[in-house]
Amino acid sequence: MLTEVTPHAIVVRATDGDRFIALSPGTVSWVGARVSPSALRPGDPVIVRQRTQQLVSGGASADGGPTASIAERIWARIGRVTGAIVAVRGPDLLVDTGQHGRAPERVVIAEASLRPVQVRFPRLAPGYLIDVIGTRRQDYLLAVAPATAQPPYLAAHPPAAPLISGQFGGPISGTAVWHEPGDEPAGLLGIGYAALDPETEGSRADSGTSGQAQPCVQLPYLSLGSAVRIRNECTDRAAVLPVTSCSASARQFCDRCVACGTSPRGRVADLTMAAFVELGGNLEDGCFNATLTLAD
């Protein structure tokens, strides 16, 4: 959470104490749209991608001198709702996110964003899927941008994955998306995975949505805590991350990411916000082209 904003720096409260992060002319900040850092307000929940730069003042050697954290990008109050529409009242939607034990989320589409959202999501009707990014308000998400295009099928009937015969191996390409922390600790580095072993992770793998099917990309069965390697094909960054949750959206959406070229269909990873940002993704883009491999 943001505790202080000055023209040259911000102070962010994390679990291990307050952190001072310098701003630079190149710092990009987002609060519903790209804004100047002066638009940030104390109290805003923020995600910051920072780089560490060595300070060369005071005659210290370049190798061992003090360092400073500089903010590359700051996202404030950003949120995302992904799931099946259960009720519609004008621009006000109720969305079942498919997370076990979670009540449907309220989404209000900002007036100025209604047309762009409707272009990508032409069927704002119960049963169809929606995935929007916006700013968090008291008890709802003010949607400002579509995160993907609406699949033509109903949420309960995603298409079947192509069959694979024989040996299964090698990296699996697709799209990596992000989700809000929910019950997870803020700053957790992990992924939501669509193919948790139903025999051992049954309660988590079973979604509240009836008729929930397998993901449209064939993924090996894993468990919570399994380690996978995720590579951002757009930035060439990779990390080994634990599976920390079951992703309902990754089982429902059979979409592609076009962040850098066109990815194969299917969500291979539903990253925590911190992991998505650490791998070089921009939260407002919604996805990056990714490759998943089982970590050795």
Q: Which residues sit at the interface with other proteins, rule CB under 8 A? A: 122-123, 152-154, 156-157, 159-160, 162-169, 185, 188-190, 195, 197-201, 218-227, 242, 244, 256, 262, 265, 294, 296
Cβ burial, residue 102 (10 Å; 0-12/13-18/19+): middle
Q: Which is nearer to other proteins, 42 or 198 (CB)?
A: 198
Provide the H-helix boundaries in 157-264.
202-205, 248-252
Closest approach of other proteins to the CB of residue 233, in Å: 17
Q: Which is nearer to other proteins, 68 or 154 (CB)?
A: 154
Closest approach of other proteins to the CB of residue 150, in Å: 10
Answer whether 259's CB lies under 8 Å from 234's CB. Answer: yes
Closest approach of other proteins to the CB of residue 35, in Å: 32
Answer whether 239's CB lies under 8 Å from 230's CB. Answer: yes
Q: Which is nearer to other proteins, 1 or 160 (CB)?
A: 160
Closest approach of other proteins to the CB of residue 243, in Å: 9
Q: How many CB atoms lie within 10 A of CB 202?
A: 10
Closest approach of other proteins to the CB of residue 122, in Å: 5
At residue 118, φ and ψ (nearest 5 deg) are -70, -25
Q: Which is nearer to other proteins, 11 or 154 (CB)?
A: 154
Q: Which residues, listed in sequence order, are joined to residue 239 by a DSSP beta bridge?
A: 230
Read out DSSP for 90-130?
Answer: TTEEEEE---TTPPPEEEEE-GGGHHHHHHH----STTSEE
**Two tokens at 80?**
């995302």
**What residue has token string 């109903």?**
154
Q: Which is nearer to other proteins, 29 or 148 (CB)?
A: 148
Q: Which of 256, 260, 76 is nearest to 177 (CA)?
A: 256
Closest approach of other proteins to the CB of residue 282, in Å: 23
Q: Which is nearer to other proteins, 120 or 237 (CB)?
A: 120
